[in-house]
């Protein structure tokens, strides 16, 4: 029989404890909606006592249509010496109005006696009374903090704490590998023991793993195999220290790799890549290119032997079809490439039958990469290279000269300026323009557009998305060769170009003119 595994997302709470992660109120509401769209079962919104933003979240989220997804309020058990109904944290969770309340409590006797300075019996009372109080108005999930470390230190007491929660009415018992140091075989063995010990309580088991040993996904899957019916984690694995279990990988493995399990109800997993990148962008974090399943490099092939095999049968170097997770196959070109890479990337030019041309293109790529070029993120420049090798390149303009001046306009107030002067030949006419900008590249871009705008007004729709600079041969110091990558867009299409030179301005100019030439070639087609 197929087991339905519930997915509990804590990106909006545990994820925000990661270094450099911060969400506005609107960010949290937007992510919550995206999580609900994909079918996440439980969405933890935050701790309604910790800050005003989380209080506002639980008020605003009630106006969202989240389908079958349930919002969870998070908090701690009552403090020692205070009745649950009098504890501010308990009151805040009750006021949040969330259908699910998740309470975290101590399971490790060392934490009970040395961190919160309570007796072992008092800690169990705190757990039971907190669950009972919140259970009057909500479904309660109990997070057993440091459970695996606690179980390894004192299994009898660790079991006593979760039985206290189960006896008080908790619907879910969550075993947390809070320090993230457990191994899959330990997780599997302990979860099986807990399942047996709680069999008479009618409660379901869940797992919450951190990634300090780089095993959070493996540990989560081991826990499911041992009897857990819910997995907690975050999108992209963001979180404190080394992060949490990456729900992207967990869902993909459970839904596509392991037999006998189902996640997200009847929904498919084809939106995982989109969801992953949305969270990265909202959190203003860099995408992890080598992230399994959804990273840009997850199905990228560079070695010539690999590409040759993939062109015949994708399964030779792909463990699943990238379409199943909303990703795509990418063929890269470099000095490691073979003719198969070139053929795969030039199919739209109908040149694959010309083996001599393929060899010429490959030789040019090897030469260029030896000078510092890399075409993996500069597909547009590679496309222009192919056209030049094939003799099909149509040049839209020639550079006669350009000059950039930058410095202090007002040294006293530190106001800097940059201006560019450009002279181009477009057809039979010479065009001379100048422009100022926020920096030399911005000034070059502005002057180039002024020169070409009259002849090619469609360039008004083109804009620069990103600009990156890297030193190629750092041993040369200030005389080093510079690589500039520019990413451009016209709202419908995104393309990358590259320029390399010892002169930063020249490298920028090469990448910038490639971007314009590529766009004009596209518009001609």
Would you say residue 474 has pLDDT above 90? no
If we measure between CA atoms, which residue out of 393, 349, 341 comes closest to residue 369? 341
pLDDT band of residue 391 (cuts 50, 70, 90) is: confident
Would you say residue 358 has pLDDT above 70? yes
Lowest average pLDDT, out of 53-62, 253-262, 377-386, goes to: 377-386
Residue 73, exposed/middle/buried by CB under 10 A (0-12, 13-18, 19+)?
buried
Asked whether 404 and 446 are in contact (CB, 8 A), the reply is no
Alpha-carbon distance of 137 to 365, in angstroms, equals: 66
Mean pLDDT for the chain overall: 88
Q: Secondary structure of 41-106 in the HEC alphabet?
A: CEEEEECCCCCHHHHHHHHHHHHCCCCCCEEEEEEECCCCCCCHHHCHHHHHHHHHCCCEEEEEEE
Would you say residue 344 has pLDDT above 60? no
Q: How many helices (H) and strands (E) does the chain have?
A: 17, 18
**pLDDT single digits (tens) 147-193:** 999 999 999 999 999 999 999 999 999 999 999 999 999 999 999 99
**pLDDT single digits (tens) 283-304:** 888 888 889 999 877 877 766 6
Q: What is the pLDDT of residue 124?
A: 96
Lowest average pLDDT, out of 44-48, 195-199, 308-312, 510-514, goes to: 308-312
Would you say residue 348 has pLDDT above 60? no
Q: What is the pLDDT of residue 157?
A: 97
- Tally of CB atoms within 10 A around 51: 11
Asked whether 440 and 512 are in contact (CB, 8 A), the reply is no
Alpha carbons within 13 angstroms on the beta-carbon side of residue 293 total 27
Alpha-carbon distance of 313 to 298, in angstroms, equals: 17
pTM for this prediction: 0.71
Would you say residue 470 has pLDDT above 80? yes
Which position has the higher pLDDT, 482 or 224? 224
Q: What is the pLDDT of residue 109?
A: 94
If we measure between CA atoms, which residue out of 346, 317, 352, 322 comes closest to residue 333? 346
Would you say residue 455 has pLDDT above 60? yes
Element (H, E) at 207: strand 204-209
pLDDT band of residue 143 (cuts 50, 70, 90) is: very high
Element (H, E) at 103: strand 100-106
Which position has the higher pLDDT, 362 or 104? 104
Residues paired with residue 431 on neighbouring β-strands, in sequence order: 424
Alpha carbons within 13 angstroms on the beta-carbon side of residue 94 total 18
**pLDDT single digits (tens) 236-285:** 999 999 999 999 999 999 999 999 999 998 788 999 999 998 898 888 88
**What average pLDDT does the segment 420-432 reach?**
92
Would you say residue 450 has pLDDT above 80? yes
**What average pLDDT does the segment 357-362 reach?**
80
**pLDDT single digits (tens) 311-334:** 677 767 777 888 888 888 766 665
């Amino acid at each position: 029989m197929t087991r339905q595994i519930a997915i509990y997302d804590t990106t909006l709470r545990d994820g925000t404890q990661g270094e450099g992660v911060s969400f506005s109120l609107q960010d949290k509401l937007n992510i919550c909606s995206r999580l609900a769209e994909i079918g996440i079962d439980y969405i933890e919104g935050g701790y309604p006592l910790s800050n005003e933003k989380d209080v506002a979240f639980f008020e605003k989220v009630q106006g969202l249509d989240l389908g079958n997804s349930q919002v969870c309020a998070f908090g701690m058990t009552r403090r020692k010496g205070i009745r649950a109904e009098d504890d501010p944290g308990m009151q805040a969770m009750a006021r949040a109005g969330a259908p699910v309340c998740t309470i975290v409590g101590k399971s490790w006797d060392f934490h009970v006696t040395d961190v919160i300075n309570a007796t072992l019996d008092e800690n169990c009372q705190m757990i039971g009374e907190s669950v009972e109080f919140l259970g009057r108005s909500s479904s309660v999930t109990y997070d057993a903090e440091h459970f695996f470390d606690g179980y390894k230190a004192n299994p009898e007491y660790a079991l006593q704490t979760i039985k206290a929660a189960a006896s008080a009415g908790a619907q879910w018992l969550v075993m947390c590998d809070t320090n993230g140091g457990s191994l899959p075989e330990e997780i599997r063995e302990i979860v099986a023991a807990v399942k047996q010990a709680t069999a008479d309580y009618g409660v379901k088991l869940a797992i919450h793993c951190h990634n300090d040993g780089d095993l959070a996904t493996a540990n989560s899957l081991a826990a499911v195999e041992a009897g857990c019916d819910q997995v907690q984690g975050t999108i992209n694995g963001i979180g404190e220290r080394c992060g949490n279990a990456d729900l992207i990988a967990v869902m993909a493995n459970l839904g596509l790799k392991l037999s006998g399990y189902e996640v997200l109800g009847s929904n498919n997993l084809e939106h995982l890549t989109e969801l992953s990148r949305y969270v990265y962008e909202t959190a203003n974090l860099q995408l992890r290119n080598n992230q399994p399943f959804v990273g840009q490099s997850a199905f990228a092939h560079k070695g010539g032997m690999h590409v040759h095999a993939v062109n015949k049968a994708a399964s030779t170097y792909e463990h699943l079809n990238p379409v199943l997770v909303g990703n795509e196959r990418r063929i890269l070109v470099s000095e490691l490439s073979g003719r198969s890479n070139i053929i795969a990337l030039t199919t739209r030019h109908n040149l694959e039958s010309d083996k001599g041309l393929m060899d010429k293109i490959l030789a040019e790529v090897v030469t260029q990469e030896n000078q510092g070029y890399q075409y993996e993120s500069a597909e547009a420049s590679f496309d222009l290279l192919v056209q030049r090798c094939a003799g099909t390149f149509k040049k839209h303009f020639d550079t006669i000269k350009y000059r950039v001046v930058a410095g202090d306009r007002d040294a006293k107030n530190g106001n800097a300026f940059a201006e560019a002067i450009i002279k181009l030949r477009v057809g039979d006419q010479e065009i001379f323009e100048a422009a100022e900008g926020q920096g030399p590249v911005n000034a070059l871009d502005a002057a180039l557009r002024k020169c070409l705008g009259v002849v090619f007004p469609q360039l008004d729709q083109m804009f620069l998305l990103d600009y990156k600079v890297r030193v190629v041969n750092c041993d040369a110091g200030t005389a080093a060769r510079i690589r500039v990558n520019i990413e451009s867009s016209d709202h419908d299409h995104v393309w990358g170009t590259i320029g390399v030179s010892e002169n930063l301005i020249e490298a920028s100019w090469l990448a910038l003119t490639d971007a314009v030439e590529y766009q004009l070639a596209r518009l001609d087609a």
